[in-house]
Amino acid sequence: MKSSIALLISSVLIPAHAANLNDAQAVQSKTNQASAVSQKRIDASAEKSLTLEAEIEQLQEEVSNLKIYRDHLSSLVESQHQEVNSLNEQIEQIAQTRQGVVPLMYHMLEGLKRIVASDKPIRKAQREERIAKLDDLMTRADVADAEKFRRILEAYQIEMDYGTKLGIYQGKINLDANEKVEADVL
């Protein structure tokens, strides 16, 4: 009888215990599933957080680079403003220089005329013709001032060569007031 009561109690308790065990296992399974879903959400959030942190670092680096580039461009713009100001000053000085060069060229031309007039009559007609061409050249608008200046300097160089070089040319010399003779002139 004792054994039958123990059997009876165990048959009643085992199914009840089994039902509690099944319920506990179901709760554990649901808890595990909920934990797995939560862990997936945590993992996704952590991954998204890492991605956002990497993007933030990249954007901060980009902002830093853009600030450096902006500063560089600001320096370039300031340098260009200074260069423009310098060029404007140079242009103004060129205009002033040009105003001074033109009178200088006329003075040089007058000096050349005095040299030819007071010098020995070596190739006098050719020298006077050169000066007349320079006089005409000075009033021509289609010739740059630089070219006019170059030609006046060239004429000075030619005049200087007359004083330093020897040469023979054909020319007429006056023997007396009425008589001119063709001769080799030194």
Tell me whether residue 106 is in a domain.
Answer: no
- How far apart (Å, rounded) are the C-alpha atoms in residues 106 and 127? 17
| pLDDT value for 148 | 94
Give the pLDDT of residue 186. 57
User: What letter represents residue 77's amino acid?
Assistant: V
Residue 180 lies in a domain: yes
Same domain membership, residue 30 and residue 75: yes
Shared domain check, 92 and 6: yes
Q: Are residues 49 and 125 in the same domain?
A: no
Distances (CA, A) of 115 to 38, 100, 138, 152: 110, 23, 19, 13
Specify if 31 maps to a domain.
yes
Residues 125 and 85 in one domain: no
This prediction's pTM: 0.46
| pLDDT average per 10 residues of sequence, the chain (186 residues) | 57 58 84 89 91 94 95 94 92 82 92 86 84 93 92 91 68 72 66
Q: Are residues 123 and 94 in the same domain?
A: no
Is residue 112 situated within a structural domain? Answer: no
User: How many domains does one find in the chain?
Assistant: 2
Indicate whether 12 and 56 sit together in one domain: yes
The answer to whether residue 6 is domain-embedded is yes
Q: Which domain holds residue 12?
A: 1-100
- The reported pLDDT for the residue numbered 134 is 94
Last residue of a domain, one of 100, 131, 151: 100
Whether residues 124 and 82 share a domain: the answer is no
The three-state (H, E, C) secondary structure of the chain, written as one string: CHHHHHHHHHHHHHHHHHHHHHHHHHHHHHHHHHHHHHHHHHHHHHHHHHHHHHHHHHHHHHHHHHHHHHHHHHHHHHHHHHHHHHHHHHHHHHHHHHHHHHHHHHHHHHHHHHHHHHCCCCCHHHHHHHHHHHHHHHCCCCCCHHHHHHHHHHHHHHHHHHHHCCCCEEEEEECCCCCEEEEEEC
Question: Is residue 16 domain-shared with residue 73, that is, in the same domain?
Answer: yes
Indicate whether 87 belongs to any domain. Answer: yes
Instruction: Classify residue 20: in a domain, yes or no.
Output: yes
Residue 7 shares a structural domain with residue 74: yes
pLDDT of residue 18: 58
Same structural domain for residues 52 and 138?
no
- Of 100, 128, 151, at which residue does a domain stop? 100
pLDDT score, position 15: 56
Shared-domain flag, residues 86 and 171: no
Instruction: Indicate whether 150 and 74 sit together in one domain.
Output: no
